[in-house]
Amino acid sequence: MTARSDLKLRFLPAAVFTPLFAAAVLAFAFRAARADFGDPLGPGVLVAPAVICGLLTVTAVITLVVAARRPSGTRPATSGTDRVRARAAGGRQTGSAVSEREGRHNPFRAIPQGDQ
């Protein structure tokens, strides 16, 4: 069983806060560009919130992309068992149809008995 969050509860705040954080980045950056070093809120003080809001904007955009790409009611492509096998195999998903199609080594496949 894979634990997943409600997509609507992830999408709605991300959709609301992405433009707000982007506007805050622009406002702080604009204010920092126009500030003098003698001002109480100098450029160094205003750059920090601009960077923080920029990181929050990127996080919100990633959340929007993930929530938009995964339709509700469907499972992720790999199950927990496949992930455990992949970790045990050093990152490869052995024994799956994908690895056989891509020509990867599959230790579970029967070795043909013929001309060797």
Listed by start position, the domains of the chain span 7-69, 78-104
* Mean pLDDT of the 97-102 span: 50
How many other β-carbons are positioned within 10 Å of the β-carbon of residue 43? 16
d(CA 56, CA 21): 7
d(CA 57, CA 46): 17
Give the model's confidence band at 99: pLDDT under 50 very low, under 70 low, under 90 confident, else very high: very low
Give the model's confidence band at 50: pLDDT under 50 very low, under 70 low, under 90 confident, else very high: very high
d(CA 45, CA 62): 27
Give the model's confidence band at 81: pLDDT under 50 very low, under 70 low, under 90 confident, else very high: low
How many other β-carbons are positioned within 10 Å of the β-carbon of residue 57? 19
d(CA 38, CA 41): 8
